[in-house]
Structure 1
């Protein structure tokens, strides 16, 4: 197997943390016997991380072929059992950290540089030839080798393409869309729950106004509620409409309208948006305020479809 870029210890000092590596740990007892054995390195059993199988190899006296003498070398191997296991042209990108345990301080030390490693057919191994110098490792005051035992570990965070990718297509100079609804017999319909306007076309899409004369949710019994709703049958699948909207109840005397302004992504999952407490019932029923004339109120919406959000 080919090895990846080997980064010397002197370039990046190690850092410790209390939390153990989340993917793999293994303990070596009688480390001195492993160092004296004829085997050049010890390779762990396979373990899973990020949907792939890996092994961790430790060179107790260093990987001499990679100038790792007088050091411990550590390598992570991506297991590719056969060419059919991966699609043609496959690649795996992962953030990798290799660890050694400090028994005295109860900390796991690694370089923690958050480097992204690129694994592919010609490079299925990445490691550090000079992971730790043997003098420091064997010094009992450093805590890495206690009673001839040591612990190594690995974390591998595979970077996968996002499953949810969107793009926003803005509309150049979107037209201002307008709808007016005169709601008659307000007092006679005060105790019904919800009224829906006629369907109206705006921006090539169908819309409704939803009016709750006695309020909705937190506005129930204390305010009027008004919402804009898109007809979901009029929008393409997997599409959201990015909308800037004003909803209002008109003051028919002084022009001091009650209104709310918002931005919302209208879609089949979220077709409705508006205000639950647009205007207090006490205010709309006050004849001096001008919101009711001949028991009728005027509801309006002005909005622009600023853009379309679609899946890539």
Structure 2
């Protein structure tokens, strides 16, 4: 299902996804007690992504400060001591999730904007392209989201699966695109080099990194995008040791939420949603099943 709400140049896109949120999921039990205890909103715990801490703010009966009475409201909030000050800004794109507990899929909300520089005139018709909108977080504006998230009647109707046994499940994906002060980020930009390495991360007590070859590698040079999981410090692994790992690599479709491997032609095509503003996002899930060592080395010791 796809629904577009037009508000000036902003578009709220509602889709359904089988994939769970990448960065954070929170299960809220006894939602009705929030109202009974005169609590207007629920704030989740902090989660970290893109070098910043975030949380979700959920208003089950609507944000009264925005005069919302017939919808639930949901917002992404910057939190923690590393939230930007008034003089600095952080730009991020995000998607917020609500689980349909009956069908085990997610209702996904995101903000898009018309890409004016890609407006095409085709005979008598205008062809508009949409791209994810970067939301600007700063000291005077630490939250963005949806005042009219889901109609209250739709949310509370059990047959819709959004609130079951007085419990709902929310989630978020957040991608920091740029900062006005430090220039840090979790994205790969200027995709014209031979290869790019992600920041180092830890899984199974080992340090890893993602390697992206935007022009391909080996037999795929010039035809396919290449993406690898690699040990960040391979020389630190003792001689004769082997690591058995199960992993999945994904290239994020920033528009349609389809994650897949594609040819370079599709990768570079703006309307496909994999590259927006010369930026793409990749992610990996890593499970270390075991490590074997060289027994002869152990005996000698």
TM-score in terms of structure 2 length: 0.48
**Which of these two proteins has the greater Rg computed from alpha carbons?**
1
- Structure 1 length normalisation: TM-score? 0.46
